[in-house]
Structure 1
Amino acid sequence: MNDSFEPQPALQPPFAGKIMLVGIGPGSVEHMTGRARAAIAEADVVIGYVTYIKLVADLIEGKEIIRKSMTEELDRAVSALEAARAGKKVALISSGDAGVYGMAGPTYEVLFQSGWTPDEAVQVEIIPGASALNSCAALVGAPLTHDFCAISLSDLLTPWPTIARRLDAVAMADFVVALYNPKSGRRTRQIVEAQRLFLRHRRADTPVAIVKSAYRRRENIVFTTLDRMADAEIGMLSTVLIGNSNTFVRNGLMVTPRGYANKYDMEEGGATRDGERAGRSLSTGLLGWLETLQAERAAGASVDILAARHRLPADYIRDTLAEPWNDEVATEGEGEA
């Protein structure tokens, strides 16, 4: 892998080329965007990890192909820049989305290191694609319909304490979580540590879906629970979806409620619950919570007690109580999002 290189002088139009950072989605052509297919079609050179090259084999006949291994991300970016400065159009492909654990970041790092600026003749276009969390979620139901995040368990470039702090924080905050790069032949303990951290905050029976090779030939889906997650068959081609405290699995579908039942009686035709108003913030939303907080403080609860009760930092509670506020209602026409 080239850690450094001498910047090549930029060619001037019409000879300068273009780098197209193409997200090919989960890997099946029917789930690739039209722009992604068009970008590959117009490219002179296609660069990518060997597995990704195989996924687009039907689209790259007759083109110059540069195959790289899993750990040669910077080499891929350098090759793309060299080809573009030689006047070629380059499709640098990533599975999923190029900006989600893909080639967009490393490519910009290499570009800036080379002295490239957006004013240079070499153009750069990012072409989005469905990331693994989108494709895996679509296969298992609707697990991402409330707040969620993605965390990679790969410690090849990120210190483990950093990863562990992120896992602990999102587990406590009750996010639905998509774990990328959960396990490999050499990295087998990371998923166990992730499970240990989540079990500090989540029920053992929290639903988990493990999706391998979504929309590819060897696709496999397993539903399990948090306490059994690490015992399941998991590899580098797997994405692990961990539900939040409200996520459930029914009839083979994993669903995270959006929260409508907090405001509406779902068994009574969606009638608004007592104390709630359609189109307005939840009674336990910010304004309602502030009112409760003020009442608890007036009743003698200390800042530390309130912080523990609401599982929030004491300094945040203190600053919030000190901030002047009123019970203004939400504006007319406010949506349910």
Structure 2
Amino acid sequence: ALPGARIESAAGLALAIAEAPVAVQQLGRPRGRLAVIGLGPGAAELMVPAVKAELARAQDILGYETYVRMAGPFRDDQVQHCTDNREEMQRARHAFELAAQGRSVVVVSSGDPGVFAMAAAVLEALHASSDPAWQRVDLEILPGVSASLATAAQAGAPLGHDFCVMSLSDNLKPWSIIEKRLDLAAQADLVLAFYNPISKSRPHQLGVALDIVRRHRDGQTPVVLGRDIGRPGQTLKVVSLAELQPQMVDMRTMVLVGSSTTCRFDRADGREWVYTPRWY
């Protein structure tokens, strides 16, 4: 029976009449929602509308602190949960714990969440869980503009034909696997997009990677270097494979190595266009 309700019955039928309208939103627990979103490369105009709408409805925002700050500003009632960039699985589990309580939760990635980002960690956490409350969470993955696509658009169309996207970081996979995949992708004449190309902890690996690629590519192959594309201070440079040196690149640089058909030509503003034709 409803508290304070008046009971009336007629012909064996009992009705409970509340003293005031029932606040339906306060009954039970709402179904929790978890959205894994991609912010794009950083510029607000490159964030897709669905992601902006998800951020506006969120109660909790989780992610690497740098990316959470990029997603703001936030309202006073929105809770930010910032963690280190290496705490992906802990972040994913925390997100499900919050969403299972009926909250609207967002996990933030830069670029696209499915490209070397949080979508895989969230799904791995759900796959490993036996908690039925996690299974009931309304889970959605919302795409974003990845760094490779943003850099390619600035340069022209270097990804205009078949291409391969690789991370050169060996934090989560053996370097021997990276070398094997590099050799096969370069041999297959795919345009190559390198994420995480170099860092202070592995300064030599980009040089080794370039040596592998040079076994299969002409020295005049165009290479696009896009640093912080979509963010303040972005830079874009086109060099040849023969000219490229590891010191030209840092962790915030996207490296696009052309195929045998990739072309470069001068623009009217003194820069260059780079494109890969859609034919052989």
TM-score by length of 1: 0.70
Q: 1:24 aligns with which of 16, 19, 39?
A: 39
Question: Offset at 1:50?
Answer: 1.2
SS of the equivalent of 1:115 reads: coil
Question: Offset at 1:232?
Answer: 4.2
SS of the equivalent of 1:109 reads: helix
Q: Distance in 1 between matches of 2:116 and 2:213?
A: 22
Q: Distance in 2 between matches of 1:218 and 1:145?
A: 26
Residue of structure 2 in register with 1:168 after alignment:
183
Structure-2 change in CA distance of 1:103 and 1:72 (3 Å):
same
2:195 maps to a residue whose letter is: Y
Q: 2:200 aligns with which of 178, 185, 196?
A: 185
Residue of structure 1 in register with 2:117 after alignment:
102
Aligned residues of 2:168 and 2:195 also touching (Cα < 8 A): yes
Residue of structure 2 in register with 1:256 after alignment:
276
SS of the equivalent of 1:124 reads: strand
Residue of structure 1 in register with 2:159 after alignment:
144
Alignment of 1:29-178 (within 5 A): 29-59=44-74, 62-116=77-131, 120-178=135-193
Aligned residues of 1:192 and 1:230 also touching (Cα < 8 A): yes
Structure-2 change in CA distance of 1:201 and 1:29 (3 Å):
same
Q: Distance in 1 between matches of 2:239 and 2:255?
A: 10
Higher relative contact order (CA 8 A, sep 6+): 2
Aligned residues of 2:126 and 2:134 also touching (Cα < 8 A): no
Question: Offset at 1:59?
Answer: 4.6
Aligned residues of 2:100 and 2:133 also touching (Cα < 8 A): no
2:241 maps to a residue whose letter is: L
Q: Distance in 1 between matches of 2:33 and 2:85?
A: 23
SS of the equivalent of 2:94 reads: helix
Q: Distance in 2 between matches of 1:226 and 1:160?
A: 22
Q: Structure 1 residue runs of 4+, over 6 Å off?
A: none
SS of the equivalent of 1:52 reads: helix
Structure-2 change in CA distance of 1:75 and 1:218 (3 Å):
farther
TM-score by length of 2: 0.84
2:277 maps to a residue whose letter is: P
1:122 maps to a residue whose letter is: V
Q: Distance in 2 between matches of 1:70 and 1:119?
A: 23
Aligned residues of 1:28 and 1:55 also touching (Cα < 8 A): no
Q: 1:205 aligns with which of 201, 215, 220?
A: 220
Q: Distance in 1 between matches of 2:215 and 2:232?
A: 37
SS of the equivalent of 2:181 reads: helix
Question: Offset at 1:211?
Answer: 0.5
SS of the equivalent of 2:248 reads: coil
Residue of structure 1 in register with 2:22 after alignment:
none
2:278 maps to a residue whose letter is: R
Residue of structure 2 in register with 1:290 after alignment:
none
Residue of structure 2 in register with 1:265 after alignment:
none
1:253 maps to a residue whose letter is: W
Aligned residues of 1:40 and 1:60 also touching (Cα < 8 A): no
Question: Offset at 1:60?
Answer: 5.4
Residue of structure 2 in register with 1:226 after alignment:
241
> What is the RMSD computed on CA atoms of the aligned residues?
1.8
Q: Which runs of 5+ in 1 are unaligned?
A: 1-12, 263-337
Q: Distance in 2 between matches of 1:119 and 1:68?
A: 21
2:156 maps to a residue whose letter is: G
Question: Offset at 1:86?
Answer: 1.8
More strand, by proportion: 2
Aligned residues of 1:18 and 1:87 also touching (Cα < 8 A): yes
Q: Distance in 1 between matches of 2:153 and 2:127?
A: 36
Which is worse superposed, 229-238 or 109-118? Answer: 109-118
